[in-house]
Amino acid sequence: LAKTTQPISMDSYEGQEVNITCSHNNIATNDYITWYQQFPSQGPRFIIQGYKTKVTNEVASLFIPADRKSSTLSLPRVSLSDTAVYYCLVGLSGAGSYQLTFGKGTKLSVIP
Amino acid sequence: EAGVTQFPSHSVIEKGQTVTLRCDPISGHDNLYWYRRVMGKEIKFLLHFVKESKQDESGMPNNRFLAERTGGTYSTLKVQPAELEDSGVYFCASSHSMTSGRGYEQFFGPGTRLTVL
């Protein structure tokens, strides 16, 4: 499974746009890129998934360049409640088992 | 709809004892997963059920761990006998069937914190 590298932590002021970049140099052709969010004492929560170019939903945007060796999660106008750990995962190639492989994640702290 | 629930939220046992964790997935979800995070480590996959069948148990650490999903509804994860290194947070997740096109999104429960003394 492709290994991912992302910042250990980031700080942001409320109202700013936050971009978290993830490197996945060994991503396979069939792999998707997925981001999860985890608040303290809770399980991870799906945010967004993409394969290439750009994906947007009500929560975030995901930018994937043509070579797919990296991706950027963009959170518009963050609030204090966005303080959490954000995980970038690659895989889910449909081989029958959709086990998720988590890395260390990026701890985002939003400050007033 | 109700989310994934896990019981208990926290369990403290002594080394050598047995503990059983329970997971109730979202109703109608065929896929059920167990994960765990031991202290200071990443969340690791344990196993995957499709309905009542074990699809992938490659992450189970050893034969002290036994997972069941009789009837394809709730699942239990038994640790017998528990060791100190089993301490951590055990997460359960569920998802729609793969053929639905929505199986990629896993819904996680809040986890069970297991402390082995």
Using H for helix, E for strand and C for coil, what is the string for chain B?
CCCCEEECCEEEECCCCCEEEEEECCCCCCEEEEEEEECCCCCEEEEEEECCEEEECCCCCCCCEEEECHHHCCEEEEECCCCHHHCEEEEEEEECCHHHCCCCCCEECCCEEEEEC
Of all residues in chain B, the one with the smallest CA distance to A50 is B104
Q: With contacts defined as CB-CB under 8 Å, which chain B residues touch A92?
A: 104
What pLDDT sits at residue A93?
58
For chain B, say whether A34 makes contact (Cβ under 8 Å).
yes
- Within 8 A of A101 by CB-CB distance, chain B residues are 45
Taking CB atoms and an 8 Å limit, are A103 and B4 in contact across chains?
Answer: no
Cβ contacts of B108 within 8 Å, gap of 6 or more? A42, A43, A44, A45, B4, B35, B91, B92, B93
Tell me whether residues B95 and A103 touch, CB distance under 8 A: no
Residue pairs spanning A and B at CB distance below 8 A:
62
pLDDT, tens digit, 9 for 90 and up, residues B26-46? 999 999 999 999 988 999 999
Q: Cβ contact (<8 Å) for A99 and B31?
A: no
Look at strands A106-111 and A84-91 and give their pairing: antiparallel
Residue in chain A lying closest to B43 (CA) = A102
Interatomic CA distance for residues B104 and A102, integer angstroms: 15
Which helix (H) or strand (E) segment is A87 a member of? strand A84-91
Length of chain B: 117
pLDDT at A92: 66
What is the pLDDT averaged over residues B59-64?
94
Tell me which residues of chain A have a pLDDT lower than 50. none
Smallest CA–CA distance from B6 into chain A, residue = A43
Q: How many CB atoms lie within 10 A of CB B58?
A: 11
B98 confidence band (pLDDT: 50, 70, 90): confident
Residue A96's pLDDT is 57
Indicate whether B1 pLDDT > 70: no
Which residue of B31, B104, B107, B112 to mutate against A (max A Cβ within 10 Å)?
B104
Compute the distance between CA of residue A52 and CA of residue A105 in angstroms, rounded to an integer.
Answer: 21
| Distance to chain A for B14, nearest Cα, Å | 23
Distance from CA of B82 to the nearest CA of A (A): 23
Phi, psi of B98 (to 5 degrees): -65, -35
Percentage of chain B exceeding pLDDT 70: 99
* pLDDT score recorded for residue A98: 79
Q: Does A94 lie at the interface with B, CB-CB under 8 angstroms?
A: yes
Whole-angstrom Cα distance, residue A45 to residue A78?
Answer: 17
pLDDT exceeds cutoff 70 at B77: yes
Average pLDDT (B99-113) is 89
